[in-house]
Amino acid sequence: MPEGPEIRRAADKLQKAIVGAPLRAVEFAFARLKTYEEELAASRVSAIETRGKALLTHFANGLSVYSHNQLYGRWYVVKAGKLANTSRSLRFAVRGSTHDILLYSASDIDVLDEVGIATHAFLHKLGPDVLSATLTAGELDARLAEPRLARRRLADLLLDQAFVAGIGNYLRSEILFDAGLLPTRRPGSLDALERAALARSILTITRRAYRLAGITNDPQRAVQLKTAGVSFGQRRHAVFERAGKPCYRCSGTVETAQLNRRVFWCPGCQG
């Protein structure tokens, strides 16, 4: 299941292929959206925005195409006029001068204007996007201090897209490891230093995963492990999916439990 960094990296590829290009066509598989095809094709894509796991294809005429991939949706970038090598069904296509961007299998697609975006049932509920360039540690710190969140378990809160959008299961374990906090802690039990550390780790680890294509481990350590011949799967994360293995930092044994989904932690570093 892709998380914020994977979605943003996919969006970067779409953006590079289509933003600013004159369009040959825009196509929807759903009859209810066909009425927009001509108008959108006469415009250009101005930006591709991600909000958690949702994607907004913004057009210069003020309309945007909302899409959420759920479990099955998948984007492809192909040379103009080519089909993607897949047996999935095409749901949304933007055909540009050199490349086409094609969305297959997704069923959650809509055309929205500015008001439609502001009032959209899913987007409306989302917290700030974790990869937004304007999100600060101070803002996250303030959110963590909100009394209504004081009793939420951190393991649950970090997966709650209304708190911050774009954190999924691997990021949750890795953020808590970086912050040195057990998954069972609650915001109300954190002192100011712990809360600030968590706010910083949310940004640091997610941005690192975006920059390094999914690596959340200490970047220097990841390079050393690679040199030592350790597989990508084992050098990628500090604790996620490393249950029973020695912690890279303290050599203690990484533990795991089912808290909402499977969470991993090091008792030595997070105790």
Q: Using CB under 5 A as the criterion, which residues of the chain lie in contact with Zn ion when the complex forms?
A: 247, 249-250, 252, 266, 268-269
The CA distance from 77 to 75, in Å, is 7
The pairing of strands 45-51 and 54-59 is: antiparallel
Instruction: Pull the structure tokens for residue 44.
Output: 């250009």
The CA distance from 15 to 94, in Å, is 11
C-beta of 175 vs 266, nearer to Zn ion:
266
Q: What is the DSSP letter of 162?
A: T
| Least distance (Å) between residue 268 CB and Zn ion | 4
Provide φ and ψ at 146, rounded to 5°.
-65, 130
> From its phi and psi, is residue 76 left (phi > 0), alpha (psi between -120 and 50) or beta?
beta
| Least distance (Å) between residue 213 CB and Zn ion | 24
Alpha helices in 120-250 (DSSP H): 121-125, 137-144, 154-157, 169-179, 192-211, 219-227, 232-235
C-beta of 116 vs 252, nearer to Zn ion:
252
| Least distance (Å) between residue 180 CB and Zn ion | 9
C-beta of 214 vs 252, nearer to Zn ion:
252
| Least distance (Å) between residue 152 CB and Zn ion | 25
C-beta of 2 vs 180, nearer to Zn ion:
180
CB 67 within 8 A of CB 57: yes
Catalytic positions: 2-3, 53, 262
C-beta of 91 vs 235, nearer to Zn ion:
235
Instruction: Pull the structure tokens for residue 224.
Output: 């050393």
Query: CB nearest Zn ion: which residue?
Result: 247
| Least distance (Å) between residue 58 CB and Zn ion | 43
